[in-house]
Amino acid sequence: MVKITIYVEGGGDTNTLRTKCRQGFSEFFKKLNFKPKIIACGSRQNAYDSFCIGLKNTRNNEYCLLLVDSEAPVNSPSVWQHVFLREGDKWSKPDKATEKHLHFMVECMEAWFMADKESLTHYYGQGFKKNALSGNLNPEDISKKILEDTLKKATCDTTKGKYDKGGHSFEILGKIDAHKVIANSTYAKKLVEVLNDPAKFLTLSR
């Protein structure tokens, strides 16, 4: 039986928030008929470090992935080159890793929300300003700053209050239409390709 573990950036430093993070990602992938083990790692550095340990210890039919924000536009031809060159990361590609082990939620996870504005509207309800959101459906083209600014503007008058990454993000992740995200994000499509056939993509350098 194939076992897939995804080390994700997010969940902060509390057990409560990490539980919400695991639940949100689990619900998202469940809609795509995947049931990977989700490890909420908190900081991106801890996600990378934990992934490296997990990758080193994988056995037959066990695979692990690293899922993080790119934090900036991806201009490098290699995902590993992006995180190696990015100030603040400087991550080296582990010996056993391929290009398919590292995946981005583009500049930040909130980019995925833009693919399903209807679910955002339903989640926040009265007072939500849908027109304040970025009109761009392509997650790869939306900067982190624009995402954060427009989400706060759109939600400032709702009963749930202004968008809060810790309080709202993982609940929203569990409610959005994962298929819309896949349809609008090249990076999300690449992730699904790997989840559909991990042996094909994740064993090249073993």
The confidence score (pLDDT) of residue 205 equals: 42
Query: Is 81 in the same domain as 116?
Result: no
Query: Is 53 in the same domain as 120?
Result: no
The confidence score (pLDDT) of residue 134 equals: 78
> How far apart, in whole angstroms, are the C-alpha atoms of residue 134 and residue 168?
19
Query: Is 162 in the same domain as 198?
Result: no
Spans in the chain with pLDDT lower than 50: 205-206
Query: Is 132 in the same domain as 53?
Result: no
Domain count, the chain: 2
**Has residue 158 been placed in a domain?**
yes
Query: Is 164 in the same domain as 198?
Result: no
**Has residue 10 been placed in a domain?**
yes
Query: Is 139 in the same domain as 79?
Result: no
Q: How far is CA 181 from CA 17, 19, 170, in A?
A: 23, 23, 15
Query: Is 116 in the same domain as 89?
Result: no
Query: Is 196 in the same domain as 103?
Result: yes
Query: Is 75 in the same domain as 85?
Result: yes
Query: Is 166 in the same domain as 101?
Result: no
Following DSSP, what letter does each residue of the chain receive, concatenated? Answer: --EEEEEESB-TTSHHHHHHHHHHHHHHHHTTT--PEEEE-BSHHHHHHHHHHHHHT--TTEEEEEEE---S---SSSHHHHHHHSTTT-PPPPTT--TTSEEEBTBSTHHHHTT-HHHHHHHH-TT--GGGS-S---GGG--HHHHHHHHHHHHTTSTT-S--HHHHHHHHHHHS-HHHHHHH-HHHHHHHHHHH-HHHHH-TT-
Query: Is 54 in the same domain as 86?
Result: yes
The predicted model scores a pTM of 0.94
CA torsion, points 46, 49, 54, 55, in degrees to nearest 10? 140
The confidence score (pLDDT) of residue 206 equals: 41
**Has residue 180 been placed in a domain?**
no
Structural domain for 98, as ranges = 3-108+185-202
pLDDT in tens, 161-180: 999 888 899 999 999 999 99
Q: How many CB atoms lie within 10 A of CB 97?
A: 21
Query: Is 88 in the same domain as 35?
Result: yes
pLDDT in tens, 131-159: 998 777 677 889 999 999 999 999 999 99
